[in-house]
Structures are given as structure tokens and as C-alpha cells.
Structure 1
């Protein structure tokens, strides 16, 4: 039986050790060379744009989802909140100046209204048909007295808005009466409007609110109103009228006004002198609107109250004038009473002054067809106060107008016998007429 032989360790020779060391050095050298080659292949560093592009390329799906979520939240806010708020701000910034128009009284429940105004927008837009309610801002609760409709149209920059004449139903007569009172009394009058316009910016629709107070010039109680010509008719005409003439009614507003026929009580102080009717009170914008009138002057009542009348005229006569008061009593258009104008004029007294010389000359001229006889003698003997009238004429001789006239032209009789006969007939006729009322 063979005996196992013990393994003897292999001896490492110096030559083998050296060989392994050389191999390790070669491997390290090759690795270093490979790293150097890789560094050269990497090139220059990426720019920010390249980095962002590479980042988005890796995470584009996440960004897409985030964008969809953002738009789902933002777009409703944009269309429902932001754009309407911008449009509302534009509407709130509109002045809507009333540049012109017309107002016609048709009946107790209807008026015709036409208005010209202006809209200014920084963006092109379109509005649908818009109904505007007219009301007095001071009245509470809200109570519109009428409404007008503005037709839908395109707006770009400064755009003129024309509301053509349209028949409007009076919704609240007391409120309309209040507004007309302001129109007649004031130098500047307000009217408030309220509506809900629909505005389109392209295809985007916005429903906004309009609540504005607009201003326009008023009538200032017809400042400058006055009789231009006055004629007496004796005997009276078939309707009993014994005076007629023309009157100037200025219109300081921006609206052409058509009120119809207006009847005025004529008075001096507290003494009622008679009544006149101004026909077709159609007032164009401006200071000159000459209208015809006729009426009845109550001569017997005037003579009976000559004392109070003269006392009420003291201040005016010191200026060489006569003051007459007018109070509207009846307003009629198209055969119907117009209460919203009538109720205003019932409570307001309009005053006009007329030169004494002009008044007396007009009256004498209308009765005699001209002539240069003594007006003071005729009227003084009829009313029984020749001395007072002479005093008025003498006083007025100091005014600028009287400087251009001679005293003899008013206080002395003309030498023509025919004129003297006519004046005597006038005196007798007036006296007989006045005696009929006693």
C-alpha cells in the first residue's frame, strides 16, 4: 500500500513577482489612457438652453399635465372674471355726454325722445341692443320715469351714438314732472341712466352694468324771454282776443323742445291783467325763437286796479320799463293736455321787462296804424293818471334810448288835424270800452 505524499508549497520566485508588478502597471496605464480619451470625447459643457431642452425632453409629460391643470383653472377666471372686469372698467369710465337731441310732448302718457351721445373705447367692440332707464338719482327707491333703446352697433375709438326719435311711454309722471322742473329751472341739469349692456370683444361676451349720471345745460327759466311786439285789437276779434304779438323764447339747452300750445296768465304784481296763448312752442337750440301769441287783456280790471299795478311797477318804471309776469296754466299738444309740463309751469312765474316807450308805441301804432300824436295824452286821460305817465316819460328821457328821441315826438300833438281827430276817437273808444265793464 502506497503511502500519500505530502504537498510541498510552490516557491515564488523573484522573476514571477516582477512579472505580476509589470502587468499591474500596464493595466493602470491603460485605464489612465482610456479616461483621457473619454474626457476628450465629452466636448464643451452644455448651455442653459441645451440643459433646459434636455430637461424638458426628459419631463415633458409632467409639464403637459401641469399646463392642462393650470389652463383648466385660469381660463374660466380669465373669461368670467378678468375680461368682464376690464369691460366694466371701460363702461364706468364713459362720460356719455349729451351732445344734442330732441324732445316732443305727444300726449299725457307719451313723449318722443332723440339723443346724440359719444362712446370712447380703447378696443374695438360691439354692443347688442341696449335699453336705458331714465331716472332721478335723488329719488329713493329707484323709480325710472321712461326708457330709451340704443340699437346694437360696432364701437371703435370715439364713436358717435345716435338714438333716433322714438316714442316713449311715461312710466312715472311725478318723476318726469320733477325732472322737467329741473330742466326749466337749472343752468345745468342731470339725468341718470341705468341698463345692462352686452359687450362683445371679438367672440368674447361680457354682460356688464351701466349706471351713470349725465349732465346737460338747462333752460335757466328761459333767461332772455321777452315780448318783442305787442298790438291791441279794438274791437276784439271773434274769439274775444284784444291783444296779439310776438314773443322771444330762448333755448339754452342742447335739446330741441316741442311743448305745443301754452296758455299763460298775465299779471303785474298780484293783479291779474289777462291771459295769452303762445302757439306751437317749438324751441330750436339757441337764443332766438320768435313765436306768435294772442290773448285777452282785461282792461276794466286793469283800470279798477291801476293803483296796485302802478305800485308794483315802481322799480321797473324807474328803469324806464314795465315788468310783466307769466304763469303757465294750460299746456296742450295734439289736442291733449300735457300734465308733466303743465304742472311745472303752474308753479313757476316767468318775468319779462319791456321798454315803456316800446310798449306805448306798439299799442298806439296798432290802434291807429302809426302817427305821431301824444301817447301820454291819450292813455293818461283814459286811465286817469296823465301826470304819472308824463313823469315816466320824463324819467325815461334820461336813458340812452331816449337820447335819440325828441321830447316833442312823445308829448306834443302833431299839427295834422287828421291825427288829432284819430287820437280823440281813440280816447272816446277806450273810455267807452272800459265803461262797459263797470
Structure 2
């Protein structure tokens, strides 16, 4: 049995690789390479673009289709959804692009499927995007790997510890299959810059992260008639059968960021939450709060509300020599006098392409403030990274193992909040290995 010390010493990703290897996959252990191959993608031309298929054409999936339409060398050629009206929307989005004057033009035919297994067997695609409810990701991702398709799987990667370990192992056994997880901040230049600066010690030794993602609304979407037939499939985020709620849909991005900065994963998590405000039949919590312990005594808190959006999305990172305040588009560093002089001498904030960096003296906690802001769309950057990974044959930075790390932490948070107990990583790993 691996001790907690052994697991953590290896680090989050390495630990998953080692532990996943202990899980049976039902494959030939001697054959670590894929027994199937999609084949090499040739030099990209207008006639030889990467053919993309989208499984799950709800609001997120259709949004990803529109984004794909903007990316050179991508062409969405097939869509799949179990709901007819959403499948129709997806196909329409895939066929329709806008020219430079904003005029809509139909460009190509798009295959339509209502069953993902038939889609994977018949669709003329090189790669897939999985944008279905997260409880379905595991089976669809397994089938996509078996079909030899590259895949981009939306967050949260999977529901449960054992599926996370198993999927990591399958990806390791099939290195020719590009596997990207949809934590798009890995591809945001401002996040990459901030992570490097934090690792370089711009605010000193980090002790605490405070992460929040607040909204003001019931999170529901309109449901067509008959509502009794479509409610659970349209508002799947409300139901435990399909979703992990706020932790899986929102906090997961911030868990991914903390893991990235620290190069580690939570050792234990404790939390609370409830259906306390929206009494509308939902099952997933409308407010969540949990604390994660990381190696070295570092702590991270995560919260998400649906009744007050004050401060919206915010991350506060506290170090011995400064604090970082961060949202989707801006990173603000508040530094001690000593650290301010040090970073200016080193030119830490110099040469940040496309950034607006300011230093001013407001009547606030400190006079030493540096701001980096940006307006780029991280989802666009993420899908460009997916394209580049396919072309170069190199796994992306937001991959199956970073996604599995987050999925395990989300599972730990849900277990703690639902059952009122402290959840330990080592215990969850050992229990998962028994079920595989």
C-alpha cells in the first residue's frame, strides 16, 4: 500500500499515473501502444482541415461549435445529441459561419446522430468534443479512445475516483490519442504568466488561496413542452444523476488553478452546502463552501453562491511578501515595499505582450500595485491548443491527468458536503482501487 507521503511526494499527476497503473483496464498489458490508429493528419490545407464532431449540442456544445468556426483548419462535420431540438441547433451552428461583413453563409454538410455509439462508428471525424452532462463523460471518453478519435472533454472530466484513475490509464496506453480536458485557463496567456510569476516567488511563499464564484440567479434554463419529458435533460445541472452542481461546474476551474500553482493536489477536504434558497425541486446544492488542505500546510477555500454575485469570480492568493487578486480577465499584485523594489530591479513585469501594467498610489492597503489585464477568450485559446496538439502529436498542458486530479478533488468535496465528513485523498484512492 502506498503511504500518503509516497503519493504526495510523487506529486498530483505522477501519483495518478502510478495509482492508475494498479487499476485493471481489461487491455493487454504488454501492448502499451494503441492497437488502432486514426492515422496521421497531413499538412493542413483548405481541403484537408481537421474534421471535428461534437457530442452534446446544448448551450455549451453549441457555443464550442461557434468557436470552432472561428479557428482556421477546424471544420465541424458531425453533431450528436439525444434531444432533437438541440441536435438541430448544433447542426445549424456547424453549417453556418459568418463572413467578414457578418453575413451568414452555409458552407458544408453536417452529419447528425442521436446516439454517441453510432456517431463514433459512422461519423466522418478526426477528433471529438464531448460537451454532455459530466456523469456521461467517462463512457463516452472510453468509447472515443476505442474508436481512435482525439478528444476534448469538457470539465469536470468524470464523476468519481475510479473512473478518473481508469481514464488516465487508458490515455497512457494510447499515447497517439490526443486527450485535452476543458479547463481552458491553462491556455490563457495571463494565467500562464501569473502562474510562472507565482512559482518564481513574486509574492513570496504562498500560504492561502481564497476562491469564489458567485452568481445571482436560479441557474435554470427554459424547458420546451412537454416539460415533464425534458426538464431533467435540459436542467441537468440541478440533478445528482447528471451533475456535481456548483463544485463540478464552477469551482473545478479554480481547483485546477490551485493545483497548477502548487504542483500538487488536495490531501483532504471538508465542506458544507445545501439547497437552502431555491426551493424548486433541484437536488444539487445552491450554495457550497469547502476547505482543501494541500501539502506543506497550504490551504485553499472554495465557495459559490447563487443568491448574491458581489465580487463575482475572484481568487485571492496570499504570500509572505504580497497578495494576488485575480478574476477572469485581470491579475492585480499588491506587494510589500521590499518585494516591490526587488521585482522592479528584476523587470518581473516587463515585456508582458498585450498587457496593460499599471503602478499607482491609491489610498488603500498598499501603494505597491501591479495590474495585468486582458480581454482574450480563453476558450478560443483552448481550442487552438487542441488543434495544435493534434497537428504536432503532442499532449496538451490541460490533459487527462490534470483533469483527473481535479475530478478526484471535486468528488472529495461532494462527498464531504453531502455526508458531513472530512474526506482524505489516500482513503479515496484505496477505496477506488478495490472497485476496479
What TM-score, normalized to structure 1?
0.19
- Greater percentage in strand: 1
Larger Rg belongs to: 1
What TM-score, normalized to structure 2?
0.19
